[in-house]
Each structure stands twice: as C-alpha cells, then as structure tokens.
A and B are shown apart, each in its own frame.
Chain A
C-alpha cells in the first residue's frame, strides 16, 4: 500500500508541476461561425508561440451567460460587437482590449449544386419547403438573415418555411443534411480561398444587412495570462488577417 500511495503522490506532484509549466494555455470562447478559421489560426499560433489554445465553439449569447456565471474563458471571439461591449462595460472584460477581428459575410447556401443562383432569385420561387436560419434573437447571422429577407420584401412569403438553428452551426447542419433545401449560413462555413467549397451559394451583398462586426475581448480571467494577450496580438497581425480573409471575412 505504502509504495503504491507514494507513487500516486509522486504522480500528483508531477501533475501539479506540469500544470504550472502549462500556465500558458489559453481558454477561448469562439463564435460558431469562426470555428474553421479558428482551428487554422490556433495551429499557426501554437507553432509560432509555443502556447496552447483550448477553444470552445458556440453561440455568443450562450457564452455571455456562461461568462457572467463564472465560466473560465480568458478570451472571447464573439459573432457581434454588442456582446463584447456589454461584457466590457459590466466589468467582465479588460477595458480597452476590444477590437474587431473580422467582419462577417452571409451566404444563401444549398447542399445541392446548381440549386442557388448567384443572385438569390431562388428565394422568390416557391420551390423549397424549408429555409434554415440561425435564431435571430441570439445569433447575429440569424439577425442579418432576417434583415436581408426584410430588404427583399420576402419576410411574409417565407415566414412559414423558416426553420431555426440555435446557432449558425446548426443552421448549416440543417442544410448540409438536406433537411432544409437552403439556408442562410456564414460564408466562412462554405467558402475557402475564393470559392464555394460544396453545393451552391449566393454571396449576399453586404448592403442588404447591417455589418456583422465580430469583436474580440480579453476577459478579466485572462488579464494576467501572457498566452491570452499573445493570442489577441496574433489575431491583430497580418498572418491571422490573411487566414481570416481566406475564409471570406473582411479585415
């Protein structure tokens, strides 16, 4: 028993030490629409800095509630600019650390090739049963989608065809599985290096909706973590900007 427990306590000491050595982990809450670029950015950042990124992907509104209730996130990459501003003013963020890391674009997308034309005229035809969007109350891309429908005068016409995903990832999933013929997704979900990766899409002109400014914020919990500051610094840099643009965002 005794040598056994000694081995275990040795292990615990090693774990505790390694915990200290890994103090440059950074916990990041990332908006669902940014998950693909974030994975590429995290890889590049980890290689150049030696820090480690631990990312959680989800809806910005949900992150807001979790951060308010003590979630251990150190950096927030939101899908909007109002949530980080609110957290900053409420004291959950480090003052002055907020900046726009990407401006999002919206796409009307179908998993079927050739189904969506490049002017979005398919929306006016009555050939689809379901149009997927993200929940407009909580997801900025969902809100932008409703603004586009309003601008096009189609709100009433498609009202009974709307199906809502809880976030943009679920809206994408509804379309990808074919359950909704088309849907408004983040361009970054279906776009790589200048072209649509699968199916067919209409890149919605930016003037049809309010700009989707996505802000980053250093959270109070990450204030003294050099890795958190380094990640935000990296996000501001040109290397990250190139990656971000490759996914269809503006920078």
Chain B
C-alpha cells in the first residue's frame, strides 16, 4: 500500500470534518429551510439568495474573506478573541466554520424543496386532529421529507469532502488539524509525487462516485414513488 501515515491522517481528518459539518448543517439548515419554505416575509428572497451564494462564489472569495474576518483584526476574530478562544484560522474549528458556510446551500435547498413539496395541507389536517406543532413536525413532516434529508446529508457530506480552495486559504497545511485529503493531493502533485497523488485522487474519485451512486439508488426511487 503506497499510502503513507500522513495520507491516512488526512483521510481521517477529512471524514471527521465532513461528518461533523453534515450533522451541524442538518441542525442549522432545517429551521432555515423551514422558514424559507413557509414564510411570506419580504426577506425570503434576500435570505434565499444569501444561502445560495456559496454555490456560485469562488472558494477563494469565501476563503479570503474568512481569513480577513477571522483574523485578529476582523470582526469574527475580535469576537473569538474576546471570548478567549483565540483566532480561528489554522485550526480545525476554523475549517469547520468554513465548511458550514461552504456547504450550507447543499443542505438547505434539498430540505427546503422537500418542505415545499409537502405543502400546508398535511399540517392543517394534523392540526385539526389536535397534533401539537412538534408532534406534527416529527410524525408528519419528517417522514414525508425523508428523501430531502437524505439528499441533503449526502450532498453536504460529499461537498465537504471536495472542499479545497477555502481550506487552502485558511488552513495552513497543518498535519492532523487542517491538512485534508484534497490539500494532501495538491501537496503530492506540487512535490511531483504523482504516484502518491494517483492513489489518493483515485480513491477520492471512487468514494465520491459510490456516495452519489447510493444517493441515486436510495433516494431517487423513493422520490418517484412519493
């Protein structure tokens, strides 16, 4: 096996980052998606656009502003310093913040679509049957929106795996902290270690394909039957 211990450390770190990002984004993204799906507020369009921004912005833009904002002179940096947390760049926490922003639309939008597809009718019926809002959400909305949540989880996870530009700008290439697989591949290519790069890059390709294959096998049929 031509993979080094540094490669395995990068793989482990990447899996941790992607998993944690996905879990946190499901928690943060679900209320946002719910609000976007049901609000009649004038803020719906601007908030929707804001959530979608990472889809079109170059990661370098996100990375550059994160570096400035989280630095000791930036607003986020001032806040984290006053809380005694230090600054976020070059840390796992910093990468996590970057990934949450970077992958936000990939989680919010499928859930929002699922909520919108359900519509108000099932909620009204549940309410007339005296289900509490929580009960209604847990036993009506969640099961109906399951494909949306699955899609959101898979896309959020896969997209975080593929994160490169943001990490490159705020990470600092530190083993076990910020050196994720995409950066390690870049390192190998830069150092002209093409064989090592192939192993990691090929593995990444296969893994990404399998994830998306599972998504298409599991979610698409249930979407069709729904």
A residues near B (Cβ < 8 Å) are: 59, 61-62, 64-65, 129-130, 132, 135, 137-138, 162-166, 170, 173-174, 177-180
Contacts and interface: CB of A to CB of B under 8 A. Distances in A.
A162 B174 contact: yes
Interface stretch (B116-124, B130-138, B188-196): B188-196
B72 A62 contact: no
A162 B179 CA distance: 13
A62 B174 contact: no
Interface stretch (B11-19, B83-91, B203-211): B83-91
Contacts of B187: 135, 137-138
B34 interface: no
Contacts, number: 56
Given A163-B173, A166-B168, A166-B173, A137 B190 contact: yes
Interface centre among B68, B168, B169, B192 (most CB of A within 10 A): B192
A178 B190 contact: no
- Which 4 pairs from chain A and chain B are nearest by CB? A163-B172, A164-B173, A138-B190, A178-B72
A179 B76 CA distance: 12
B192 A179 contact: no
B189 A65 contact: yes
B220 interface: no
A65 B186 CA distance: 12
Given A61-B192, A135-B187, A137-B190, A179 B173 contact: no
B190 A164 contact: no
B190 A166 contact: yes
B186 A166 contact: yes
Nearest to A64: B192
A179 B87 contact: yes
Interface residues of B, number: 21
B70 to A, nearest CB: 8
Nearest to A86: B192
A162 B169 CA distance: 15
5 contacts: A59-B190, A61-B190, A177-B73, A179-B67, A180-B90
Is chain B's interface secondary structure helix, strand, loop, or mixed overall? loop
B178 to A, nearest CB: 8
B190 A62 contact: yes
B71 interface: yes
Nearest to A135: B173
Given A130-B90, A177-B67, A179-B72, A135 B172 contact: no
B191 A138 contact: yes
Interface in B136-169: 168-169
Contacts of B71: 177-179
Contacts of A59: 190
Contact of A164 (B73, B86, B169, B172): B172
Contact of A179 (B90, B168, B174): B90
B191 A163 contact: no
Contacts of A163: 90, 172-174
Contacts of A170: 169
Contacts of B173: 135, 163-166
A65 B90 contact: no
Given A65-B192, A138-B191, A164 B174 contact: yes
A135 B67 CA distance: 19
B172 A178 contact: no
Contacts of B86: 129
Given A166-B168, A166-B173, A177 B68 contact: yes
A135 B190 contact: yes
A132 B71 CA distance: 14
A179 B66 CA distance: 11
Contacts of A135: 173, 187, 190
Contacts of A61: 190-192
A166 B70 CA distance: 20
A102 B212 CA distance: 51
